Each structure stands twice: as structure tokens, then as C-alpha cells.
Structure 1
Amino acid sequence: MTSLRRRLLVSLLGAIVAVFAIAGLATYRMAHDEVDAVMDYHLRQLALSLRDRSFGQAPPVAPPDKSFDFVIQIWDGRGLRLYLSHPHSVLPALAQFGYATVRAGEDDWRVYSVPLRDRVIQVAQPMRVRRAMAAKAALSTLVPLLVLVPLLGLIIWYLIGRGLRPLDTLAHGVSVRRADALTPLSAEGVPDEALPLVGALNGLLDRLSQALSAQRAFVADAAHALRTPLTALQLQLQLTERADSAAEREAALAELRGGLVRAIRLVEQLLTLARQSPDSAPAEAPVAPVDLAALARSALTALAPLAEARDIDLGATALADDAIVRADAAALRTALDNLIDNAIRYTPAGGRVDLAVRRAEGRLWLEVSDTGPGIAPEARERVLDRFYRQDDASSDGSGLGLAIVKAIAERHGAVLTLDTAEGGGLRVCLGFVPADNAHPGN
């Protein structure tokens, strides 16, 4: 059952029927006590009314009426029974003075015995008669209420529908909205119980608006970034077509080849950035223990040819042991490769790029330092933005490397800092929570 209205109807009717059942039981108990009190009084009055009657030692007489549910026994002073109204009754042959409840045969009996003059008079009544009277009294009280249960169901159904009408109105308002209508929902007329839902929906709409704005900005920036290399490729292609000699054609083809490489790299970085963004990364990334020192050694080995081709000294200054974090190993490798690639691209020939893995301030730090021109303190926040490049940047980078690193750091809850390296260049640090301190969900 998924309908809230049906669930509320069944729950409320069930609760009402349960209350009626409890009330019926209580009513039956009260009616039973009242019947007991009245019938005990009748037993006593009937016994007292027989004190002046004469009873001889004759055989018991048959009851005058089957509906007469009292049994009368009378003994003389010597214990000889003078009278028994029901000859087949199984009441005890001895009397216990006063009121008593006794078990005789298959039924319980309420008995009243009293000594009067020279005889003992006993009047008894089956308890089943009293139970039947109590049940009849209780039913006469509850039957009208039970008859009203269907009417209660209809009233409850109507009232629940009326109470849920604001939710229907809210749902209709959401369903008819256009996909690009992300303005907050109005809380006017919404019941207090539904205000958290409206607040949650407005929060979702706000996040969607921000995500769409970021997506539009990303698409616009990507189109702008791709326009330049594609335009350059077109020009280089035209130069190739216009080349008069083999040497000119070879030079134009070399430029065209370099332009293609740059365009391919830009597209790859765009795809990487799109995958690593927190709002587009997979919900369940492959998180596992990652040894930062081993990751650094692997990256050094892979990027050593690029550093050697640019006459850069690439190495490690410190690699802490047991530097284990829980992370997406492929994403960390992407971040580290981008940091090293950026450092190599912006470091002049003969410079140095150093890696380090350290423990400090309760975190494991992955550091990449270079001896390049560095970044001015006031520009360090800007370089983390997509497609941002410094005006005096001499490299042919796309301005996406640090943005990719920032996205990966945000996914892993890592601290990203930029400061000045010992050699005067840039030092980028990623601080991770150690695996032994990480939350199981990280």
C-alpha cells in the first residue's frame, strides 16, 4: 500500500475499532459488575420472601417455568432437604451462609444461603445467565457505534483528502513547471508539516540552478578554449595547402601536428575535468587503500622521459613510509600527473621538479615543488579556476591542470594549498586524512 490517504484511513479506522474493542471490554466488565450487584440483591430478596412459606417432606416439584433461572433449596434444622426447585440440578448438598460462587457440574453458580427460623434457604443462579445479560447490555451500547464505522470511514476519507489538498496543489505546481524554471516554490498556504518538503525542494532547485549555471559556464569556457586551437589548425591547414616547396610543406605539417596534439590534450583535459567534478563523479568511486609513496614513484617513472626531454631534473626529496590513504587510486594518479606536468611545463630548462610525501599536522601531504617562475600570492586562488592562465604565462597549457587537481581534492576531502617553494618556484600540496583515521564511508 503506497497511498498515504489509504494508509491513514486504514490506520485511523483500525485505531477506532481497537478503541471500540477496548471500550466494549470495559463496558462488558462494568455491565457484568452491575448485573452481579442487581442479581445478588434479587437472590437475597427471593430467599427472604420464602421464610414464611410452608414446605413439607414431599418429593421435589418440577420448576414451574423453564425460563425461571433460579434454583431454590430448603433444609430444616436437622439438615433434611425439604425442597428443590430443579430436580436435576447439581448444586452442593450443604449450604455456605452468605454469598458464594461455586463450581457445580459444567457451570459456575452464584449462591446465597441464609438461616431463617427453623430452616436454611438457599437460592442459586447460573453465572452464564449473568454473563449473557452483561454481554447483551454491552452490545446494546456498542452496536450503534459499530454501525457508524462506515460513516466514520467516509468522513475520515474526506477530511484526509482535504488535508492533503495543499500537497496535491504543490505537486501540480511542480509537475507543470518548465525544465528551466528553477525559481523557489512559494510556501504561501502550505501547512506547517509540508514546509520541510518545500524547503528541501527549494534547496534542490537552488543546487540545480547552480549546477546548470556551472555547466553553462563550463560549456562556454570549453567552446572558447577550443575555438583558438581549432582556428589555429584551420590556418595551419591553409598554410600547408599554400606551401610552394617541400620544406615549407614539412614545416607547415609540423605546426599542424603540434596544433593537433594541443587540441587533443585540451579535449582530454576537458573530459578529465568533467569526470572529476563532484557533481558528475560516480556515486560509488572505487575507494581503496593507496600508498602515496608508491604512487609518487610510479608517476616519477612515467614522466621521467618528458622531464628529460625538457632538461628538467625530476626526483623525490622525501617519501614517507606507510603513507596510506583511502582514495580512488586512478583519480590521485591523474591529480599527481597534472601537478608534475604543470611543473615541468612552467620550469625553464635546467630547472628542478621535486616530489615529497610527508606526515604533518595529522595529515599525509603529497607535495610537488618546482624552480619555475611561481605564482603571485594574489593570483593563487584564480589559477584554480577553469581555463585561467596568467598573462605572462609562457607555456602552451590549457589552464585546466590545477582545476582538475582542485576537483579531485574536493572529491576526497583533501586540503589543497599553493605557496612558494624553496627554490622560488611554486609548491602545491595535497593533504589527505590517513587511512587509519579515515571514516569508513570515505
Structure 2
Amino acid sequence: MLSPFKLALRRMPGVTPGTRSLHRHLLLWLLLPQLVLWLAAAYVTYNVADRYANRAIDAALKTATRSLARQVKPIGNGLFIDFPKAAQDIIEADPDDRVYYMVSTPPGEFILGNNKLPPPPVTDARLGETYFYNGSMKERTPQEKTKQLGIRVAAMYLSFGDENAPQRMLVQVARSRASGEELARQILVDTALPLSGLVALMSVIVWGGIRTGLAPLARLRAEVEDRAPNDLAPIKLEAAPEEVRALVKALNSLLAQVHENVSVQKRFISDAAHQLRTPLAGLKSQTELALTETDNPALQARLRRVHESATRSAHLINQLLTLARAEPESVAAQGRTRVDLRRLASEVTAELVPRGRHAGVDLGLDDGDEKPIEIHGNALLLRESLLNLVDNAIRYAGDGSVVTVRLSAQDSQAVLEVEDNGPGIAEADRERVFERFARATHEGNGCGLGLAIVKEIVERHTGTVELQAVQPHGLRAVVRLPRIVERKATMA
């Protein structure tokens, strides 16, 4: 059974079963920016590392370009190339980081070097200035396969010839971009690994901060879940943050309104029951007198129906009053004492024996032990619950049946059983009959509140009640209540 508070929460707008966790929602929106920033930092780091690697390569290529340009000397309208074979072998010695060079006279007259280097992208080049750009060239591998190689190129335009016939010379020196890219990747790895550790540490800190920040909500949820269905007392959560305190205040205001409405309903039921008891008692007395004063069979039949209705109404009123007394506030107001359940069962059984005989039921107490079984509870309400159990058995067991009341102590529990060999109750109805105004049969003059009252009183005493089938036929009501266990003093 859901408490009014939990029911109100379920009906609040935006609070639906399966709603995403607030903890996961906050964690997602706090960690997602970190991931985006980490990716952005990795991208920026790689590009910065690549730019600085290119700077180092460009400095070396610029020096090599100027050195190569000095080896090509103009003589009149021709060129004198002073590039020894030893210098060429030194430049091309490293197979993993080869240097490519090319000297040409644009547009496309190859003079010296590798006739594969791409031309510079500039259209209006100034003489003597070095231009750097990225390109690609085809290179044959040792396995006689052609692959596309990314290169970094430095290019410089020089002039030669006389004033009447000026000419331009293009000197290019290139180097594979593999070493620069490898350097950039290494810088990225060396930077990203510590950054990843910091991001992971920050994620753990964020996760812990979210758990700490949402802990008051978890305590609020635990306090609500641990409450009894009818507990409408204000929620106490003073140590919570301001936002949670505001939520608690709003919920307490809601609980106060619900408590007021419930109290008004209870007072109305109690007042109405009290007001109806007197006229119903008078009606029963008048019908009984009228039955003795008339000999008309038809009139007697009508009077008996009026008397049965008045009796049933009076029973319903008494049950409603008992149900009102079984509410938590009433139980707390009436107080609790040590109650001898064995003695209480004996008194109730003896009190109902005449009623059992009138109904043709053999009622008895199966208890050969006289040792008290004490529990901590309200004697009046416990008596009422036992009366309802035995009365319910007498009403529905049928003429000629046997009703037995048993009492025993099992460890820390007191077990009370009321068993009959009547028709019993179908298994599908054994839980339903504990609901208010629910009946398993339309026979008899019951009102469907007896077992509901029993369950209410037993649960108020932190006990349990259940119905069990008896073979070959019958029903057993079993009530378990925590009993007072005396601890024996031990010698030191």
C-alpha cells in the first residue's frame, strides 16, 4: 500500500516511473564538457607540435637550400654546378629520413636532383626568398611498389644570365614529413597521457562531489521509503542544503494538508459512528419489543428484517470505531503496556463460548501451558483483534464446526492461531479479504471490516497475520507478534 506522500510524488508533474537518474544526468553533463575539452586540447596540441616540428624541419631545409644554391654558380648565360658526388651521397644516406633536392630553370627544365618534386604554389615569387609548403611525390619501395610520400619542401628562386636575357633558377630541397609527424605524435602522446590522467582524476572528483551533493536527496528518499503507509509526520532534514530544505518544506506543507484532510475524515467517521449508536440501539430494542407484542406472521417477518438490518448496522458502526482506534495516532495516544497474550486469549475465548453455542460451533482453547506470553502493546486493541478473528471464524465456519484457539511461543515471537474446519477461503481471496469492505462470501451479516481491523492492529504492533488452508477443509488465521524475552542474568 502506497503512503499518501509517495502517491503524491508519483502524481507530481515530471515524476514518472523510469525517469532518468539525476545523478547520471549531472554526471553526463559534467563529464561531457571535459571530454570535449580533452579532444580539443589533443587537437590543438597535435597542431602546435606539428607546427614546431615543421619549424625545425624548415630551418634545416632553408639552410640546405641556401647551401645547394651556392653550389650552382651562373657563368655568362650558363650554370656551373659544384656538387661533388660525396656530398650527394651524404644527403641521400639516411633511408628513413631522406632528403630530396632539385634544381631547375622554370618552366620545367630539369637540371639536377630528383625530377619529382612538386612546384611551389606561389605565382608571384620574389628572388632570394625561401618558400615552404607541403606536397607529395611518388616513390618506389624496395618491393618495386609505388607509394605516395608526404614531403615538406623549401623552394628558392634565383636569377642568372645577363641584363639583356635574364633567367630564373629554382632550387628545391624536400624532406619526408614522416619524422615531423612522428615527433608531433610523440609530443601528443606525452601530453595526452598526463592530461588523460588529470581528466580521469577530475571525473572521480566530480563523481564524488555529485554523490555528496545528492546525499541529502538519498536520505530524504530513505526516510520516505522507511515510513509506514499512514505516517504523515513532518520530514526532518535540517542539515540538508538550502534547495533540499525548500523541497522538504514544500513536502511538509503537502503532508500537513493531507493530514488535515485525513483527520477531518476520521473525525467525521468517529462522530457519525457515535451519533448513530444510540438510535440504532433504540431501533433494535423497539423491534425486539414489537416482535413480542404481535402475532401477525407477515409483520413479524418484516420486523425480523428490520432487526437484522439494525444489528448489522450496529456491528458496522462498532467496527468503524475500532478501525478509527487502530490508526497510528490513536494507538500512540492510548499508550502501550505489557500484555499477557495467553491470559487475553483465555478471556476472549471464554467470552465468546456462548455465542459459539448459539451458532452451533464448538469453540475451545488448546493451551495446556500456563506460562505467560507477554508482548508490548495496547491491551484494548489486541483484545479487539482477537475478538474479530474468533467472531469471524464463528460466523463463517458453519453449524456443527469446531473452532480452536491456540497460543505458543517461538523464539522471539508469540504465535496466535484461530483454526476452524469450515469451508475455508479460496487461495485467490486470502489476501483480498484483508482489504476494507472486502468479503469472500455474501453469506452471514458481516460488513467486510473484521479482518481489515485485525491486520491494522497487528501491523501497528509490528506483527504479521496470514491465512492458511487446513486439510481436508478449513481455515487457519496465524498472527505473529514480537514477544518480550526476559534475559537471564549471568554470573561474572
Question: TM-score band, normalised by the shorter chain?
Answer: 0.3 to 0.5
TM superposition score normalised by structure 1? 0.47
TM superposition score normalised by structure 2? 0.42
